[in-house]
Amino acid sequence: MTSLLDGPKRLVSRSLDLSDLIEALGRASQAARGRLDDSVVDHAEATRDRVAQRLGLTAGHTVVAIAGATGSGKSSTFNALAGVELAAVGVRRPTTSWATACVWGADGAGELLGYLGIAPRHQIMRDSLLDLGKEDRALQGVVLLDLPDHDSTEVSHHLEVDRLIRLTDLMVWVLDPQKYADAAVHNRYLAPLATHQAVMLVVLNHVDEVPDDRRQSMLDDIRRLLDDDGLDRVPLMATSARTGEGIDALRYAVAERVRAKKVTRARLEADLRSAARQLSDATGTGGHPKLSKERIAALEGAFADAAGVPTVVAAVESAMRIRGRRATGWPVTSWLSRLRPDPLRRLHLDLGKEGSLLTGRGRTSVPSATPVERARVDAEVRALADEVSAPLSRPWADSVRRASVARIPDLGDRLDAALGETDVGTGRMPVWAGFVRMLQWLLLVVALAGLGWSAVLLSDPWFGVGRPDTPDVEGFPVPVILLLGGVLLGLLLALLGRFLVSATARSRARAADRRLRSAIASVAEELVVTPVRAELAAYDTVREGLARALK
Ligand SMILES: Nc1nc2c(ncn2[C@@H]2O[C@H](COP(=O)(O)OP(=O)(O)OP(=O)(O)O)[C@@H](O)[C@H]2O)c(=O)[nH]1
Ligand SMILES: [Mg+2]
């Protein structure tokens, strides 16, 4: 048979420090706020606050409430326990509308009665009475509450019962032979209190009205119903408030629990654990994978394409080619390339700070993402959210998805700004280009000198006759060597320059690609990855808090 103390002992022996539990539940509910249903989070927070408040009150008193249907004999049981007619017992139902409190040992109980919201006119102080008997000694430190009925047509009665049941340390449920199977009490009160078995007693009152040969089967029936409610460890007792049968045993059971001074803690602990359990049911227990590098890389790739990174990189390469050729080509032909527009400037990139200020443009002119690119961005964001949220419960998976897209409306502007702010590295030409340029001009000057000299010779009246004083090398006149050599070397140098410029353009394009992609990666990190990680971190915080609270 279940001993009366089984419950509280078991609970308390494995109990954490209650303040640890309060803290763990508080952290979990804070992290769950906005992610789980508000009503569950509100309940957890209200429970935590109430428990914290109750813990702050005197530990010297234990609140014991007598609850049950109208006419079950709550007020009579209250009087029988007290050994005095304190509460009104009536023939007309319902009789009790407001809870009455009887306090044994009034010292320091004021605050607790205030917390319970019992008006002074409904308070009875037992040590202010002179006839203290053995009942009173047994119940020292008890605040006994006679509650209104829970099945009344009076709404105020339910509210009062519900309110006080929440604040009570030990509950005595009074059933009577007629209504013990009523769904109202089982569904509304008993079954939901399955987490609170350790702080409950159930009494079948009016047993004097049950024939002896039917008592046991009735008690068995009630036991079965209680087991079905999940209250298999709750003690069940038989009493008659009229004849006094079983009342001493009930008083003893109550007194025993109160003396152990553990019901208050057990009740508060049960409240915290039950709120934690509800949060946990809503949260689920699944783990989640970390965001994989590959997923993030795929997202960055989609962002980079949508931002037009390949367009910009191609523009960097061709701009570098054009500028390089301009700088290193044969001066006579390279000016022609000036007629071609600069691809970077056409995109309104690489204007420098002053340039952008002058044009007054907030945006680059990189073509905006195509519908296909945008669809890919959406698909990658979804895939990333799905990857980590797949094992999570619905509300958490939803909140991860919400977080993943919450900042997507900013994406276009942010990607464009990232392109605009990235130094694509086309500003200066390499040093060798300067030398080549100098050499080109030198060769041009040489060629022009050769040309001039040759022109002078051609215009000479002696032309054709040959001037013996024209210097020559191996029979070739120096002016011709200068002219042809200058032009040929210039063209050759231009060719070599072209080759070097191509290599430079390619490496600059690669560098630009790296820088642009890293700028895009920061945008992806800020707009998607960080918000998703924040949800996962919140989930982990909730799970950790609940794991501690439910340990
Ligand atoms: N025969 C018998 N009558 C009882 C017993 N307990 C209470 N009564 C009677 O049942 C009626 C209702 O008792 P109360 O104590 O007023 O019941 P209550 O649960 O407080 O009722 P409400 O305040 O209306 O919710 C009264 O007439 C009591 O005398 C009992 O154990 N046996
Ligand atoms: Mg009553």
**Confidence (pLDDT) at 1:** 35
Average pLDDT over residues 333-359: 62
Ligand with an atom nearest the CA of residue 100: 2
Residues 453-457, mean pLDDT to the nearest whole number: 83
Confidence of residue 367 (pLDDT cuts 50, 70, 90): confident
Q: Which two structure tokens, joined as six digits, stand for 336?
A: 């022609």
Higher pLDDT, 92 or 540: 540
**Whole-angstrom Cα distance, residue 484 to residue 480?**
6
Average of pLDDT values for 233-243? Answer: 96
**Ligand 1 touching residue 100 (CB < 6 A):** no
The pLDDT of residue 286 is 85
- Give yes or no for residue 361 CB within 6 A of ligand 1: no
Letter for the amino acid at 185? V
pTM: 0.76
Residues 281-294: tens digit of each pLDDT: 999 988 899 999 99
User: Are β-strands 142-146 and 62-68 bridged in parallel, bridged antiparallel, or unpaired?
Assistant: parallel
Residue 354 pLDDT > 50? no
Is the C-beta atom of 245 inside 6 A of ligand 1? no
Cβ 321 under 6 angstroms from ligand 1: no
> Is 154 a pocket residue for ligand 1 (Cβ < 6 Å)?
no
Residue 352 has pLDDT above 80, yes or no: no
Cα separation of 364 and 504, whole Å?
A: 25
Could you report the per-residue pLDDT of 381-396, keeping only the tens digit for each? 999 999 999 999 999 9
Banded model confidence at residue 130, pLDDT cuts 50, 70, 90: low
Question: Can you count the helices (H) and strands (E) in the chain?
Answer: 22, 9
> Which candidate, 451, 449, 448, 433, places its Cα nearest to that of 329?
433
Q: What is the mean pLDDT of the chain?
A: 87
Asked whether the predicted pLDDT for residue 103 surpasses 70, the reply is: yes
Average pLDDT over residues 102-128: 87
Ligand 1 centroid distance, CA of 76 (Å): 6
In this prediction, residue 6 carries a pLDDT of 38
Is the pLDDT reported for residue 202 higher than 80?
A: yes
Any ligand 1 atom below 6 A from CB of 339: no
State residue 16's pLDDT score.
55
Instruction: Report the distance separating Cα 251 and Cα 80, nearest Å.
Output: 9
Residue of minimum CA distance from atom 12 in ligand 1 = 71
Beta-bridge mates of residue 395: none
In the reported structure, the alpha carbon of residue 68 is separated from the centroid of ligand 2 by a whole-number distance in angstroms of 9
Confidence of residue 240 (pLDDT cuts 50, 70, 90): very high
Per-residue pLDDT, averaged over 252-265, amounts to 88
Q: Which residue's CA is the closest to the ligand 1 atom numbered 9?
A: 73
Please give the pLDDT value at position 474.
80
- Summarised one tens digit per residue, pLDDT across range 17-53 is 888 999 999 999 999 999 999 999 999 999 999 999 9
Position in ligand 1 atom list of the atom nearest CA 91: 27
Q: Of 263, 342, 269, whose CA–CA distance to 62 is shortest? A: 263
So what's the pLDDT on residue 355? 41
Whether residue 7 is predicted with pLDDT greater than 50 in this model: the reply is no
Cα–Cα distance, 50 to 179 (Å, whole number): 32
| Ligand 1 within 6 A of CB of 42 | no
Ligand 1: which atom is nearest the Cα of residue 157?
Answer: 25
Whether 311 is in the pocket of ligand 1, judged by its Cβ within 6 Å, is: no
Among 46-50, 170-174, 311-315, 537-541, the minimum mean pLDDT is found in 311-315
Phi/psi for 286 (5° steps) reads -60, 150
The residue whose CB lies within 8 Å of the most ligand 1 atoms, and thus the one to mutate among 89, 100, 150, is 89
Per-residue confidence band for 13, with pLDDT thresholds at 50, 70 and 90? very low
Question: 43 alpha carbon to ligand 2 midpoint, in Å?
Answer: 30
Residue 464 pLDDT more than 80?
A: no
Q: Residue 178 CA: which ligand is closest?
A: 1
* Nearest Cα residue to atom 6 of ligand 1: 73
pLDDT in the model for residue 480: 87
Residue 79, ligand 1, Cβ within 6 A: no
206-220 pLDDT, tens digit per residue, is 999 999 999 999 999
If you average pLDDT over residues 59-83, what whole number do you get?
A: 92
Q: Is the CB of 221 within 6 Å of ligand 1?
A: no
Q: Which atom of ligand 1 is nearest to the CA of 239?
A: 31
Lowest mean pLDDT among 78-92, 211-225, 512-526: 78-92
Which among 226, 228, 257 is positioned nearest to 7, based on CA atoms?
257
Percent of all residues in the chain with a pLDDT value above 90, rounded to a whole number: 58
Q: Indicate the helix (H) or strand (E) that contains 173.
A: strand 170-175
